[in-house]
Amino acid sequence: MKRPSVRWRAALAAVAATVIAASAPAAAAAAPPGPQTPSSGVGGVQIYNMYFGADLQPLFAPGADPIAATSAIWTEMQDSKIPERAIAVARQIVAEQPDLVGLNEVSTWASSASPTGPFVTDYDALSLLLADLAALGTPYTFVTANTNFSNVTFPLPVITPTGLRFATFTDRDVILVRSASLSRGRIRLGATQNHTFAAKLQVSVAGQTIDVPRGWSAVDVTVRGRTFRFANTHFEAYGNPPLKDQIRNPQAVELAAAVTASPYPFVLVGDLNVRPTMCKDYRLGQPEWAGDQNIVAYGTLEAAGLTEVWPLVYPRNPCGSAGWTSGQSALDNTASTLDHRIDDVFVSAGFTALEAEVVGDEEADRTPSGLWPSDHASTWARIRLDNAKRG
């Protein structure tokens, strides 16, 4: 979705301010019209799930042939053209110029002729993205990351066009900062932290039970003397049907505890794999489906004092197609199949939501070979920190 005109954005902001002031005076607010105060800290933030390139579920299916499954996964990953898509993701980030970026499904794929190595990195999505950002004239700096699933300790056999190899895959959530924001002194970074959720999915691979950990990372950010905590996470996507939320709900409880314990205002970005509470049963007139009830983790974050930016900026239509970020059925599908929003930006009290936009969802965003940059679109937001204690 392309950004609305300045006049239209101002109108939206005015409506949002009226709605929020009437319904939730203690929550984060949408921007009233008029200039920002000199003491305000304004910044852009963005969340982008890069998609690691393949569906791992066949590997975990009961009775699956590990070699056949991993070989299919490897082929699917290569067909997803990670380097080509990394450039497309970089273009979306450069177009928005966010100060802080949260990335999900940042993958590293490596292989070796032997299960004991040495391993050669075939694809490193983070290195590719950072190089592309620099080449486009807007370099970003790595801040911190948390590791989710990784099979580095147990490489899996893969049949490739060159023969049998052993492959490893690592999935990380990453935080980046725009290098110019640091070098010009517009923002300062403080302490970082990385956590693994106690709640984690367990899967079976070749008869062995394996944990699939997820977690969250954070960095303390100071803008014009005011400090907030910027965090990035990716809640578990899988569990028992129909809602598959048995793991992510307790993960949300863990993160909510960190939010309430924070000495600073909080900004959370991430692929939350959960519907907004206000979007329950919203399917453009279609029959209700089980996924609409997947709202518990979102409500947990709300109870911890967080408010999503998107409905603050678009209070009249918080669930419409302009905000959809998930549901892409294939990277090369003819038309986008995005149909709901799970890639979110949340803020705590003390912030004003100025703008929000979904990018990576239009035909012009596709790669030269016709692929979407990711199976997710990206949410960008501009926020203002007003009423926080000085850091």
Mean pLDDT: which of 24-28, 121-125, 316-320 is highest? Answer: 121-125
β-sheet bridge partners, residue 157:
166
Count Cα atoms within 13 angstroms, Cβ side, for 188. Answer: 9
Residue 277 structure tokens: 């509470």
Q: Measured at the alpha carbon of residue 233, what is the angle toward residues 228 and 30, in degrees to the nearest 5?
A: 50
pLDDT higher than threshold 90 for residue 220:
yes
Range 185-192 average pLDDT: 95
- The pLDDT of residue 4: 45
Q: Does an H or E element contain 219, and which? A: strand 215-223
Asked if 375 contacts 51 with a C-beta cutoff of 8 angstroms, the reply is yes
- The pLDDT of residue 10: 36
Q: Hey, what amino acid is at 378? A: S
- The pLDDT of residue 63: 83
Q: How far is CA 307 from CA 96, 156, 170, 304, 344, in A?
A: 22, 42, 31, 9, 10
Residue 250 structure tokens: 């307790």
Least confident of 34-38, 43-47, 63-67, 333-337: 34-38
Q: What gap in Å lies between CA 17 and CA 48, rounded to an integer?
A: 27
Least confident of 1-5, 211-215, 355-359: 1-5
Range 71-82 average pLDDT: 96
- The pLDDT of residue 90: 98
Range 83-95 average pLDDT: 98
Least confident of 60-74, 153-167, 289-303: 289-303
Range 94-99 average pLDDT: 97
pLDDT higher than threshold 60 for residue 46:
yes
Q: What gap in Å lies between CA 385 and CA 379, rounded to an integer?
A: 19
Asked if 336 contacts 52 with a C-beta cutoff of 8 angstroms, the reply is no
Q: Which residue has the higher pLDDT, 386 or 137?
A: 137
Count Cα atoms within 13 angstroms, Cβ side, for 183. Answer: 7
Neighbour count for residue 16 (Cβ, 10 Å): 23
pLDDT higher than threshold 90 for residue 21:
no
For 227-251, what is each residue's pLDDT tens digit?
999 999 999 999 988 889 999 999 9
β-sheet bridge partners, residue 158:
165
pLDDT higher than threshold 70 for residue 76:
yes
- The pLDDT of residue 27: 55
- Percentage, residues of the chain above pLDDT 70: 86
Name the H helices within the chain.
Answer: 6-23, 57-60, 66-79, 82-96, 125-135, 179-183, 248-261, 296-303, 309-313
- The pLDDT of residue 391: 41
pLDDT higher than threshold 50 for residue 332:
yes
- The pLDDT of residue 238: 92
pLDDT higher than threshold 80 for residue 39:
no
Count Cα atoms within 13 angstroms, Cβ side, for 67. Answer: 6
How many residues are there in the chain? 391
Residue 99 structure tokens: 């100060």
Least confident of 10-14, 70-74, 302-306: 10-14
Q: What gap in Å lies between CA 283 and CA 287, rounded to an integer?
A: 7
Backbone angles phi, psi at 310, to 5 degrees: -55, -55
pLDDT higher than threshold 60 for residue 335:
yes
Comparing C-alpha atoms, which of 361, 382, 332, 261 is closest to residue 84?
332
- Sorted by where each starts, the structural domains of the chain and their CATH numbers stand as 6-385 (3.60.10.10)
- The pLDDT of residue 282: 56
pTM over 0.75: yes
Comparing C-alpha atoms, which of 90, 105, 19 is closest to residue 367?
90
Residue 15 structure tokens: 């409506």
Comparing C-alpha atoms, which of 289, 366, 280, 369 is closest to residue 328?
366
Q: What gap in Å lies between CA 154 and CA 166, rounded to an integer?
A: 9
Burial track 186-203 (b if 16+ CB lie within 10 A, e otherwise): ebebeeeeebebebbbeb
- The pLDDT of residue 242: 84
Q: What gap in Å lies between CA 215 and CA 209, rounded to an integer?
A: 20
Residue 245 structure tokens: 């939320």
